[in-house]
Amino acid sequence: MPVQTILLYPHPILKKLCRPVADIDPEIGGLIRDLVDTMHAGPGSVGVAAPQIGVSLRVCVVDVSASRLGKENNHGLLVMVNPEVVAREGAAVMREGCMSIPDYTGDVERATAITVHFTDESGNAREVAAEGFEAVAIQHEMDHLDGVLFLDRIVSLKTGLFRRKNYR
């Protein structure tokens, strides 16, 4: 499937609550392929959510395995339909960026370990315990499904928002 254009903030769909997916049908399969292709094409991307490509459905993909931060601790490609965090622990501040806000990064506080329940691309219910960078990436993508951007979670707008020097 083709790489899709990433919507940029302040596009209104990025701030909307996404609808749940009823069935994993061929249309959802195509959306998943588009998300995976778009994630792999993005510079340094470790995840993409459906609203970022203009689809207001609760679907996102995460794969931190190629990132130096996630290389040692990851579940590979996670395709998550209707994901829900069912447990969280700890908290840490980490610098985040987003393809929908390419000119900035920011310091965001997130749980350091989460358990997420979701349906995979085959329609199977799954539960994954993630920690560290993978947990942060999952939380970031799931926020998109609720219309929340990392800008909404910056620890301090005065000291925690940074203009990106280079985006590739």
CB 18 within 8 A of CB 58: yes
Task: Spell out the domains of the chain, with CATH numbers in brackets.
Answer: 12-163 (3.90.45.10)
- 3-class DSSP state for residue 97? strand
Q: Tokens 């459905």 identify what position?
A: 57
Catalytic site residues?
141
Dig out the tokens for 38 from the structure: 């778009």
Q: Tokens 């990436």 identify what position?
A: 137
Per-residue pLDDT of the chain (168 residues; tens, 9 = 90+): 589 999 999 999 999 999 999 999 999 999 999 999 999 999 899 999 999 999 999 999 999 999 999 999 999 999 999 999 999 999 999 999 999 999 999 999 999 999 999 999 999 999 999 999 999 999 999 999 999 999 999 999 889 999 987 655
Which is nearest to 126 in space by CA: 134, 139, 117, 135? 117
